[in-house]
């Protein structure tokens, strides 16, 4: 079995307006997922340094960020990052250039973990519905090109408030949605903005929203997770 998760960490700024990367690490440790897609993983201005100091992550978790070789002090690309267990074998990684109205991007990696040979895409889509659909189309093309017969999982903050329209329709033509639940706002979740999708080679046997006390204050999003098996 494989457990994956997606988490918009809001640059480690909590609902109490305190920036505390230690709380984010505590939530990650609670999740205990094998792979985590992060959004807003870097500071927005200046050098865009990682919201979680690398040494803190290394010393207090079982995760390592997938290197993207883009910005020296950043963890991700336009805030998107992937964390994997230190035992995972990294086969490939890349940044994905997608159309945007405001600066957006996505990242991908191919990893071997728990007997799975995976192609993973992490994303954070636009606030505009039109641009979300354009981005979804680009990500689907990238994901299919990169898959190479590997099991494929896409995760991230889709910023889609509808129940089944817009970019959700586009993704649903190619992938299945894990039934995670409402993740935003963390204090009173009303929207399913954070999503986990998977290909036909996988089945989500369990999924949910992580609602711990730490998660309710660490960010304005709650992390979502899913447990996968091979079909």
How confident is the model over 118-131, as pLDDT tens digits?
999 999 999 999 99
Using CA atoms, how far apart are residues 194 and 39, in angstroms rounded to an integer? Answer: 10
**Does the pLDDT value for residue 166 go beyond 70?**
yes
- pTM for this one? 0.96
57 Cβ contact list (under 8 Å, min separation 6)? 25, 63, 64, 65, 83
**Does the pLDDT value for residue 23 go beyond 90?**
yes
By C-alpha distance, which of 47, 44, 7, 39 is closest to 225? 7
**Which residues, listed in sequence order, are joined to residue 65 by a DSSP beta bridge?**
83
- State how far the alpha carbon of 138 is from the alpha carbons of 6, 35, 87, 200, in Å: 20, 23, 31, 20
Class of domain 2-230: alpha beta
**Does the pLDDT value for residue 22 go beyond 70?**
yes
* 44: number of Cβ within 10 Å: 11
Mean of the pLDDT values across residues 11-28? 97
DSSP string, 158-222: ----SSS-THHHHHHTT-EEP-----BSTTS--B--EEEEE-TTEEEEEEEE---HHHHHH-SB-
> Sign of torsion, CA 45 132 149 62?
positive
**Does the pLDDT value for residue 46 go beyond 70?**
no
**Does the pLDDT value for residue 48 go beyond 90?**
no
Asked if 114 and 2 count as a contact pair (C-beta separation under 8 A), the reply is yes
- Whether residue 91 has a cis bond before it, omega within 30° of 0: no
Mean of the pLDDT values across residues 57-85? 92
How confident is the model at residue 174, as a pLDDT? Answer: 97
Mean of the pLDDT values across residues 88-111? 93
How confident is the model at residue 148, as a pLDDT? Answer: 82
**Does the pLDDT value for residue 7 go beyond 90?**
yes
Confidence of residue 161 (pLDDT cuts 50, 70, 90): very high
How confident is the model at residue 43, as a pLDDT? Answer: 85
Q: Strands across the sheet with 2-8, in order?
A: 63-65, 81-85, 35-39, 2-8, 224-230, 202-209
Angle ∠(121,127,133) on CA atoms, nearest 5? 60
Mean of the pLDDT values across residues 101-109? 91
Mean of the pLDDT values across residues 59-64? 97
Per-chain mean pLDDT for the chain? 95
114 by Cβ neighbours in 10 Å (0-12 / 13-18 / 19+) ranks as middle
């Amino acid at each position: 079995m494989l457990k994956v998760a997606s988490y918009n960490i809001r640059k480690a700024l909590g609902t109490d307006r305190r920036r505390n990367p230690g709380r984010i690490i505590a939530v990650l440790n609670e999740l205990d997922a094998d792979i985590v897609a992060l959004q807003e993983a870097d500071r927005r201005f200046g050098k865009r340094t990682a919201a979680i100091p690398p040494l803190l992550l290394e010393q207090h978790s079982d995760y390592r960020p997938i290197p993207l070789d883009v910005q020296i002090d950043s963890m991700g690309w336009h805030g998107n990052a992937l964390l994997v267990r230190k035992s995972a074998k990294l086969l490939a990684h890349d940044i994905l250039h997608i159309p945007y109205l405001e600066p957006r991007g996505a990242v991908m990696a191919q990893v071997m973990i728990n007997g799975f040979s995976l192609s993973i895409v992490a994303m954070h889509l636009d606030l505009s519905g039109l641009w979300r659909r354009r981005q979804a189309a680009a990500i689907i093309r990238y994901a299919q090109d990169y898959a190479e017969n590997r099991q494929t999982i896409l995760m991230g903050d889709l910023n889609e408030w509808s129940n089944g329209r817009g970019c959700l329709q586009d993704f649903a033509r190619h992938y299945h949605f894990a039934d995670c639940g409402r993740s935003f706002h963390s204090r009173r979740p009303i929207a399913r903005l954070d999503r986990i999708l998977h290909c036909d080679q996988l089945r989500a046997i369990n999924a949910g929203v992580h609602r711990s006390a730490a998660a309710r204050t660490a960010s304005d999003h709650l992390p979502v997770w899913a447990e996968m098996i091979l079909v």
